[in-house]
Amino acid sequence: MSDAAAKAQRSLDRMAATPEGLKKILRPLKNLVFGMPRDEASTWVLEKPEAADERYLDVLRFGACDFRETEHAHTMAAPVGWPRYMADAMDRKGVKLAFQNLFVWHFEEFPAESVIRKRRRKRRGAPDVIVIQTGGFSTMRHVFGYNLWSFLARENFGRRLGRLMHPIWRVMDVGLRLVGRPAPYYGPDKQLAEFIATVRSIWPGVPIEFWNPNEPLLKGSWRRDIAERLTAEATPILEDAHVPILEAPPIPNTMSLRGANGMNFNARGSQLVGDWYADHLLATYADLAKTPAERAAAAAETETPR
């Protein structure tokens, strides 16, 4: 048993040994501070359109949670942000968007081939475009560590404080610059090239792009030097694999477009980012957007022996 598994088991054993009467007293406090809301954004997908005459582009993203729309605190209850607006922008130009996100927190957490094939991709088949957008986890600063309890406490306090998170984050920003610790470093050298090779073996010929995230606005919440190190290490790997790097959307870097922590975009920022990504996809991959009827005909032609 690993150290993490043993630690989790000890925690469960302590919980099981707690008297039932004390559990009843502590349960409301536990739910208030450590309750976990339903994360609907993590399972949000846009299915392929069924109408035979609707052109669509199927995009599969491997990335972290910066696609959430955050008005105040970064929270699991936040809705999907720029992918939703990206779909709206493409729809206005006559192309539907099919979309799925598989979470990848950092460069050493890319999913295995079995996960890629089975997690809602088995019935969807090959995507039209694959996007990799991860790595920012290692640039973050923290104080209380990355564990379940600190995560849930942050989640609940942030969600309930609402607009108060904006002035609170200004204070936290200063504190993080003084006492914040860096997150664990997960560089791209171990799995990025292997992951790209794996994806290409599953879906030969499907274009892959690496999308750089926007730079966080509040300087205390992240480490620029680590972000630059990640970029320096990832760039030659991506170039060797002939994966194009898309720079962050050139939108104003202002808190009027951000949530309280200065990282995720609010509704207005998400719309600008979504519109920009939609323009990029249509300018680059418009020829891959086809109707279900056109795809079925192409598949039948491929399968017909000559």
What CATH code is carried by the domain that includes residue 276? 3.40.50.1110
**53 and 30 in a common domain:** no
**293 and 195 in a common domain:** yes
Q: Please tell me which residue, 213 or 131, carries the higher pLDDT value.
A: 131
Q: Is the pLDDT of residue 277 over 80?
A: yes
The answer to whether residues 197 and 191 touch, using CB atoms and an 8 Å cutoff, is no
Adjacent-strand bridge partners of 246: 211
**48 and 27 in a common domain:** no
Phi, psi of 211 (to 5 degrees): -105, 115
Burial (CB count within 10 angstroms: exposed 0-12, middle 13-18, buried 19+), residue 121: middle
**23 and 56 in a common domain:** no
Give pLDDT, residue 81.
94
**57 and 24 in a common domain:** no
**260 and 121 in a common domain:** yes
**57 and 9 in a common domain:** no
**107 and 20 in a common domain:** no
Give the percent of the chain with pLDDT over 70. Answer: 87
Q: Please tell me which residue, 15 or 270, carries the higher pLDDT value.
A: 270
Mean pLDDT of 222-232: 94
Q: Please tell me which residue, 4 or 232, carries the higher pLDDT value.
A: 232
**73 and 16 in a common domain:** no
Give pLDDT, residue 105.
87
> What band does 110 get if pLDDT is binned at 50, 70 and 90?
very high
The residues, ordered by sequence, that sit 6+ positions from 82 with a Cβ below 8 Å of its Cβ are 67, 69, 265, 270, 271, 273, 274, 277
Q: Is the pLDDT of residue 299 over 90?
A: no
Q: Is the pLDDT of residue 62 over 70?
A: yes
The predicted model scores a pTM of: 0.84
Give pLDDT, residue 203.
94
The residues, ordered by sequence, that sit 6+ positions from 162 with a Cβ below 8 Å of its Cβ are 72, 73
For the chain, the average pLDDT equals 87
Domain that holds residue 270: 41-303
Domain tally, the chain: 2
**56 and 30 in a common domain:** no
Mean pLDDT of 117-127: 78
Give pLDDT, residue 304.
55
**223 and 259 in a common domain:** yes
Report the sign of the C-alpha dihedral through residues 122, 65, 40, 150, in that order: positive
**78 and 22 in a common domain:** no
- For 30-47, the pLDDT digits (tens) are 555 556 667 778 788 999
Mean pLDDT of 66-92: 92
Q: Is the pLDDT of residue 96 over 60?
A: yes
> What band does 26 get if pLDDT is binned at 50, 70 and 90?
low
Mean pLDDT of 180-201: 93
Mean pLDDT of 194-215: 95
Give pLDDT, residue 147.
73
